[in-house]
Amino acid sequence: MIRNTILLTLVFVLSFQLKAQKEVVKFLQFSNSEHQVWMMEQYLQPLAKMQNGNLNSGWYHTVKPHRFLGFDLSLSMASTNMSDIKKGFYVTDMPGFEDGYIVSANPISPNVSGTTPDLPQIKRAGSGEELDMPNGSGLQKITIPMLSLGVGLPYRTELRFNILPEFDNDDLGKTSKYGASIKHSIKEYIPGLSEIPMLSLAMMGGYGIMKNDVEVIQSGNDVVGQVLQGETSGYTGRLLVGMDMRFFSAFAGVGYGASTVEYALKGNYYVGSIADQDIQKDPVLVSYDFSQIDVNFGVNIKVKFFDIFADYSLGGYNTFNFGLGYSFR
């Protein structure tokens, strides 16, 4: 039932082609693993940044923890958009490029977020073999749903679980996402604040993991089971402040977040030049480490036992989160 609900929600998600992610296998034409890794890192970097931003959003929609055994169940959509996205990179910036390759007048190649009709023409120095570079898809936003369950514990504490069973996402392929967080009210420890009933003050910490797999096909390779496998894991800790009224609450949070994003080509692939190809298993792994100050703010409208909430996260990414929930506090 939960899985079907999430899949139906995807009808409202803006879709993008997966073709760009599939084409990373073209970087295996480069002569050595360092060149392959460098090219793939540049190409997938915008996607990695958006996954980092999406993972670190949607951790809460009220500041005040549930009372003991109070709970809420909510379904939300988090849409992450790059605010200062770079849509290409200079292939000539690759270490050792001039020693092994020659490029046409256009040295700029699109990354996954860019697209161009004028791809750079790269040839091997000496043999003159031309390398086929991938185009981008214009992917500048990813949108991922999330089911969240919060449960009140003793001592003004709340435990929350974020759950997304595997589903086919038009942006990321087969995607799943899980996380857990804990929130504790701290206003009772500060003299005078407990006398302000509308004010909520809490500390929150959370850890999440997102996985996504994209099936890829290398031209001329009839081996099955080739996959671009992604994994994003990270944590955040924040100070939360909120104002609670009968039918409405506003909240904001500030803190620190960090994550690691990895992409790996899994399976057997032809690697190297046409004249000297080799078959390698799991040939490329690229990794990104991100850290940032996390800032978000939002509102929650209460209608009897139901919540309608929205919040916005700022950073090198911008994430808008909107959802509906049922709560019994």
Domains of the chain plus CATH, in order, are 2-328 (2.40.160.20)
Mean pLDDT of 309-324: 89
SS3 of residue 8 by DSSP: helix
| pLDDT on residue 218 | 82
Q: Is the pLDDT of residue 5 over 60?
A: no
SS3 of residue 93 by DSSP: helix
Cβ atoms within 10 Å of 4's Cβ, excluding its own: 8
The one-letter code for the residue type at 142 is I
| pLDDT on residue 32 | 87
| pLDDT on residue 112 | 92
Mean pLDDT of 194-214: 94
List Cα–Cα distances, 267 to 35, 157, 228, 317, in angstroms: 19, 45, 9, 32
Q: Is the pLDDT of residue 13 over 80?
A: no
Average pLDDT, the chain: 89
Helix ranges (H only) for the chain are 2-9, 19-22, 33-55, 97-100
Q: Is the pLDDT of residue 224 over 80?
A: no
| pLDDT on residue 83 | 64
